Amino acid sequence: MTLRSFKERVIQTCSFEVVGIAFVSPVYAYIAGASMAHGFALISLLSIVILIWSPIFNTLFDWIERHRTRRLASARPHRLRIVHAVLHEVTAIIITCPLLMYFGGHSLQAALAFNLGLTITYSIYTYVFHIIYDRLRPVRPVSAVEGTPQCDPGAAVCNNI
* Predicted confidence band of residue 72 (pLDDT cuts 50, 70, 90): confident
pLDDT digits (tens, 9 = 90+) for 76-91: 899 998 999 999 999 9
In a domain, 145, yes or no: no
Q: Rounded distance, CA 34 to CA 111, Å?
A: 14
Is residue 149 in some structural domain? no
Domain that holds residue 50: 6-136
At 6 the pLDDT is: 85
pTM higher than the cut 0.75: yes
- The CA-based angle 155-156-160, given to 5 degrees, is 75
> Do 49 and 27 form a contact (C-beta atoms < 8 A)?
no
| pLDDT, position 74 | 78
- Is 61 a member of any domain? yes
Assign 1 a pLDDT band (cuts: 50, 70, 90): very low
Residue-by-residue DSSP string for 67-80: HHH---GGG--HHH
In a domain, 27, yes or no: yes
Is residue 161 within 8 A of residue 139, CB to CB? The reply is no
**Pair 108, 100: CB distance under 8 Å:** no
Whether residue 155 lies inside any domain: the answer is: no
Average pLDDT rounded to a whole number, residues 7-15:
91
In angstroms, the CA 155 to CA 26 distance is 34
Interval 15-39: pLDDT, tens:
999 999 999 999 999 999 999 999 9
Task: Name the nearest CA neighbour of 138 among 4, 19, 7.
Answer: 4
- Total structural domains in the chain? 1
Task: Say if 160 falls within a structural domain.
Answer: no
Q: Are 100 and 42 in contact (CB under 8 A)?
A: yes
Helix, coil or strand: residue 149: strand
**What's the length of the chain?**
161
Report yes or no on 69 lying in a domain: yes
Is residue 46 one of the residues assigned to a domain? yes
State pLDDT tens for residues 102-158: 999 999 999 999 999 999 999 999 999 999 999 998 887 766 555 555 555 554 445
